[in-house]
Amino acid sequence: MSLSKEYLEINRILDEGDQEEIKTFFAFTVDEPDEMILFKFELWSAHFFPQYFKVEDAPFHADIDQGNLDIYKGNIDEFVDAAFRGAAKTTRTKLWRSFVLCNDTEHFKRFLKIGCKKIANAKKLVTSIYNMVATGRVRRYYPEIFTRVEAKEKRQETMGGFVTATGVSIQATTVGVEQRGDVEDESRPDEIWFDDFETRNTLRSMVETNQINDNMEEALDGMAIERSGITYTCNYISERGNVHKLMQPAQGRRILDTAIKYRDEEGEWQPSWPAKHTMQRINKIESNAKDFPGEY
């Protein structure tokens, strides 16, 4: 089959395929090649959530996707995704979590914890992922994820977590509480996602900064021994604090540092997401931002 025929067949499946044909097309296991899984992820995201793809992806989005996949497969221990404000790093990671929840037939990772500085923000992320997979078109295509919803699970869905009928648990936590001994059904988290865990307010207090660091270290120590990984989505807002520590190279840690602009080989500034920002727009952002270096 030629490449053009393959793409015609893919378009036919997405446009005309029934439920089982589409689900079979997107299904995967971690043993599949990276490029195939990422290809399916990109198509699945655009097919079910076109509202997130109003402009063309930036080149660095492929690096975010690869980092999320490598964390999921257990190829790396830590993925530090430090990107400018509005880079879609959080949205990209939510899409990834929804994709694997629906399409990984073996459910390679079964217990994800999402931690933020404020528990309300962590609950919002958990609820957002739940809404992605439990409502609308995705729910119609993947009803088996929530075929069993007990009373306890209903309470969790409206609060800080949920457990699917396929045995995957996603729970909210905060970096303001201790993580040690955090166990779900006699298992420990095999993946943790820390988002929005450091702010200018926390940086003003060395005590609070150190507490956040201690709690994140305990989270690492309390994870499952095998196949565990931790993702940090953050802004590099200061050359001190926990994000700065994470930006230092370490074994098993991948660092993605993405600013809103970069210098090309000729020394000229170029936008990192050209489909969304022109240099004129970036210059306007820079002139109006309270902390351009920290946020962008």
Residue 220 pLDDT more than 80?
no
Residue 150 pLDDT more than 50?
no
In this prediction, residue 240 carries a pLDDT of: 66
In this prediction, residue 18 carries a pLDDT of: 85
For residues 263 and 3, give the distance between their C-alpha atoms in angstroms, rounded to a whole number: 36
Burial 173-211 (b: 16+ CB within 10 A, else e): bbbbeebeebebeeebbbbbbbbbbbeeebbeeeebbeb
For residues 139 and 257, give the distance between their C-alpha atoms in angstroms, rounded to a whole number: 35
Tell me what the mean pLDDT of segment 135-163 comes to.
70
| Dihedrals phi, psi of 193, to nearest 5 degrees | -120, 115
Tell me what the mean pLDDT of segment 181-192 comes to.
63
**Total Cβ atoms within 10 A of residue 225:** 7
Confidence of residue 246 (pLDDT cuts 50, 70, 90): confident
Confidence of residue 201 (pLDDT cuts 50, 70, 90): low
Residue 166 pLDDT more than 60?
yes
In this prediction, residue 10 carries a pLDDT of: 82
| Tokens matching residue 187 | 């298992």
For residues 110 and 191, give the distance between their C-alpha atoms in angstroms, rounded to a whole number: 8
For residues 44 and 99, give the distance between their C-alpha atoms in angstroms, rounded to a whole number: 7
Segment among 35-44, 191-200, 246-255 with least mean pLDDT: 191-200
User: Any residues with CB less than 8 A from the CB of 146 and at least 6 apart, and which?
Assistant: 134, 139, 164, 165
Residue 143 pLDDT more than 70?
yes
Query: What are the tens digits of pLDDT across the range 45-87?
Result: 999 999 999 999 999 999 999 999 999 999 999 999 999 999 9
For residues 22 and 296, give the distance between their C-alpha atoms in angstroms, rounded to a whole number: 39
In this prediction, residue 93 carries a pLDDT of: 97
For residues 49 and 40, give the distance between their C-alpha atoms in angstroms, rounded to a whole number: 14
In this prediction, residue 142 carries a pLDDT of: 93
Residue type at 139? Answer: R
DSSP-based three-state secondary structure for 17: coil
What DSSP line would sit under 121-169, residue for residue? HHHHHHHHHHHHHHSHHHHHH-GGGGS---HHHHHHHTTTEEE-TTS-E
Confidence of residue 238 (pLDDT cuts 50, 70, 90): low
In this prediction, residue 181 carries a pLDDT of: 44
In residues, how long is the chain? 296
Residue 199 pLDDT more than 90?
no
pTM (whole model) above 0.75: yes
